[in-house]
Amino acid sequence: MSKNINLTEGNISSTLTKLALPIMGTSFIQMMYNLTDMMWLGRLSTKAVAGAGTVGFFMWFGMSLVLISSIGVSVGVSQAYGREDMEDAREYISSGIKLDIFIGIIYSLFLLTFRHQVIGFFNLGDTETIQLATDYLTIIACGFIFHFINPIYSAVFNASGNSITPFIINTMGLVTNIVLDPVLIFGIGPFPEMGIKGAALATVLAQVVVTSIYIVVSRKNKELFSHLHLFKLPKKNYIKRILKLGFPAFLQSGAHASISMVLTKILAKWGPTPVAVQSVGSQIESISWMTAEGFSTAIAAFVGQNYGARNYDRVKEGYYKGLRIVGTIGIFATILLIFAGEPIFRIFTPGDTTAIAQGAVYLRILGFSQFFITIEIASTGAFNGIGRTQIPAITGIILNSLRIPGALFLSSTILGMTGVWWSMSISTIFKGIILTSLFMYVIKKGLHKNK
């Protein structure tokens, strides 16, 4: 597959774009996994969408746990590449994958053991929705280890400047999911009709395919994976470094997921439809922030390699160029969600006029914050690249936490349930402004002083 890109030389715009486009494509693929499930489940029932959407929060929290290893490995590998220290890069990869597998197994066992309790947290009320959510969670948890492994492999390739390989492999997984979803949900051909269980099984099998291909490809890449002995204990100093780099990102994303669970619980008092609306709406909205996440990963790799090589002017120029690109994406998403929310939402719940009406309102409200969420995510990538992962974590946790009192207050007014969504949008606007301003301040102060 594709070769690595040296990010410390060459034209900045073309180098950054060449790295970023496949990563953004991979982010779109991750988004399409969820959208595909929601689209088919929406044709099953709104309750099925609400059930899968509820489980989505635990998948989100699981992906937050993945950040511990993936961010630590990404920063470590990219800076090691910048220093041309391949021995260091391999040790980060070996230690990070082992740590990630350990965390994934523990989390999967937790979900399986306490599946009834975690679903019960939302007080969904409707017995059918609760059962659908429990069925979906059980199957997803059984295969969650593959959800943990795949982002680590992607992080390694991206940090080394090879973003094509993760894109190709994840595309194969998406195709698998697209084919299996309707087959297993509705029982096409010799397959039985499995409903929401079919959607969960399709997702797990697609991730198994991705993991299998990554393993085959990694065995051929001796430069990066020659130290990967799974049954050999990792080195403590690398585990400590990975935890130091990745734990703040986990805290930020984990807190965000937990806060979103509380917000969903607040919404649940208006019934399962608003829960389903937020589940579908957040997937549609991810067209901007998952694209920005992809570019953020590219910025982190670019900044990391050049920061490791002490090319500080190149770091500065790359950040500002990246910011302009993601900002443009954010503006496009704002226009799309505000003015075309209803026809977009109709695709996912075609038979539910109430959900369509509420969905259009959700997308319109969240549309105002799309520019700000993209620049926030880009700035997070830049902070990760220089190893200051705690700064995005602190700002994110504080401002996301304010969503809860904001939602409680605004939803108690004439805004009703839309007050929850306004609280989310307003906090996102502040996060974008504050975090971007902070990185600009670091640049102005001098990146060399960060060491």
Tens of pLDDT along 181-199? 889 989 888 888 898 899 9
Give the separation between CA 304 and CA 385, rounded to whole angstroms. 4
User: What is the DSSP secondary structure assignment for residue 235, as one 8-state letter?
Assistant: P
Give the separation between CA 245 and CA 29, rounded to whole angstroms. 26
List pLDDT tens digits, range 9-46. Answer: 777 777 777 777 887 777 777 777 777 777 788 787 77
Token pair belonging to 8: 């410390």
What's residue 290's pLDDT?
A: 78
What's residue 332's pLDDT?
A: 92
What pTM value is reported for the model?
A: 0.74
Residues in the chain: 451
What's residue 378's pLDDT?
A: 92
Rg over CA atoms, the chain: 21
- In this prediction, residue 3 has a pLDDT band, given cuts at 50, 70 and 90, of low
- In this prediction, residue 257 has a pLDDT band, given cuts at 50, 70 and 90, of confident
pLDDT > 90? residue 74: no
Better-predicted residue by pLDDT, 5 or 347? 347
Stretch 89-108: mean pLDDT, rounded? 90
Stretch 215-236: mean pLDDT, rounded? 78
Better-predicted residue by pLDDT, 291 or 224? 291
Give the separation between CA 226 and CA 235, rounded to whole angstroms. 15
Neighbouring C-beta atoms of residue 29, cutoff 10 Å: 22
Residues 6+ apart with CB under 8 A from 378: 292, 295, 296, 299, 319, 322, 323, 326, 327, 436
Cα–Cα nearest to 7, from 158, 164, 165, 151:
158
When mean pLDDT is compared across 25-34, 155-164, 351-360, the lowest value belongs to 25-34
- In this prediction, residue 76 has a pLDDT band, given cuts at 50, 70 and 90, of confident
Enumerate the H helices of 268-402 as residue ranges. Answer: 272-308, 312-346, 353-367, 370-385, 390-401
What's residue 233's pLDDT?
A: 79
Stretch 210-227: mean pLDDT, rounded? 83
SS3 220: helix
Residues 6+ apart with CB under 8 A from 314: 8, 12, 306
What's residue 159's pLDDT?
A: 80
List pLDDT tens digits, range 287-321. Answer: 787 788 878 888 888 888 888 888 888 888 889 98
3-state helix, strand, coil in the chain (%, to 5): 85, 0, 15
Stretch 123-148: mean pLDDT, rounded? 88
Give the separation between CA 48 and CA 27, rounded to whole angstroms. 25
Cα–Cα nearest to 153, from 223, 205, 224:
224
Q: Using alpha carbons, list the distances in angstroms from residue 446 to 12, 18, 175, 312, 391.
A: 20, 27, 46, 8, 16
What's residue 450's pLDDT?
A: 59
What's residue 366's pLDDT?
A: 93
Give the separation between CA 443 and CA 195, rounded to whole angstroms. 52
Better-predicted residue by pLDDT, 180 or 287? 180
Most distant pair of Cα atoms in the chain: their distance? 65
What's residue 82's pLDDT?
A: 75
Q: In the chain, where are the structural domains located?
A: 12-450
List pLDDT tens digits, range 365-394. Answer: 999 999 999 999 999 999 988 888 889 989
Neighbouring C-beta atoms of residue 358, cutoff 10 Å: 23
Token pair belonging to 435: 């975090």
